Amino acid sequence: MKMPDNENEINSFLQECSTGNIELKGWKHPLGFVHVKVLVGGNDTNKIRLRFWQNKMEANSIGMLDRIHNHAFDFTSFILCGDVLEKRYDLIFCPLGSHQIWEVENLGGRSMLRKTSIKCNLKAGSEIAHSSKSSYIMIAGVFHDAIAVSDITATLVFEIPRPEVASLIICQSDVEKLGDNKWPEVTQDEIILLIKKVIKKRHF
């Protein structure tokens, strides 16, 4: 399966996912959305993801600490429906910085966080609104936060791993322990219901 990259292919892809013929493995992500791996032949080589926010978030919640993060992969995100607000940040490394960098190891439905000795300050950058049926690209290592600002928001994401980049989040310097974080599982039937809601919203 190749990544769908136009509206007709995206519609066909969603319809196929809604039949139950494609294996979908999902979890409730700590950042407030349902994170779904689209598996082909039982494997994850294509790195295709679906993300669903069922309820909108307040715009002023963007960039709260423990939310600002980077990715160890490049990705392209297609907004299937709803609206995503994204904000990017620059890090200023400083031994007396007010923020602490934590390493994140994602283990498929589980994340392990380890505190580093690196401190920094944050400088807010661009804030961009991405509307339904638009797309954007994120480069590995860029720090950002993204939230849904309308009900029933969904994205289709294609990841390209960059193993040379570490996955990191930013916390307050006085946070001592985040540790092991297991994500609640979401069943395939629940995911299919979300997909059907997205299909319905896309056709209105």
As to burial, measured by CB atoms within 10 angstroms (0-12 exposed, 13-18 middle, 19+ buried), residue 184 is exposed
Q: What pLDDT, on the 0 to 100 scale, is given for residue 177?
A: 66
pLDDT in tens, 49-83: 999 999 988 877 877 767 899 999 999 999 999 99
pLDDT band at 172 (very low <50, low <70, confident <90, very high): confident
Task: Write phi, then psi, for 73 (nearest 5 degrees).
Answer: -155, 150
- Report d(CA 176, CA 76) in Å as an integer: 34
Domains of the chain, CATH where assigned: 7-202 (2.60.120.10)
CB 81 within 8 A of CB 54: no
Residue 201: pLDDT band (50, 70, 90) is very high
Which is nearest to 98 in space by CA: 82, 121, 71? Answer: 121
Q: Which residues lie below 8 Å from residue 80, measured CB to CB, with a gap of 6+?
A: 10, 14, 132, 133, 154, 155, 156, 198, 202
pLDDT-based confidence at residue 1 (cuts at 50, 70, 90): low
67, 83, 163: which is closest to 122 by C-alpha? Answer: 67
Can you tell me the distance from the alpha carbon of 140 to that of 47, in angstroms, rounded to the nearest whole number? Answer: 15
Residue range 21-53, pLDDT digits in tens: 999 999 999 899 999 999 977 788 889 999 999
Q: What is the pLDDT of residues 113-134, one digit of tens each?
A: 898 999 999 999 999 999 999 9
Query: Phi, psi at residue 96, to the nearest 5°?
Result: -105, 20
Query: In which band, very low, low, confident or very high, does the pLDDT at 174 lie, cut at 50, 70 and 90?
Result: confident
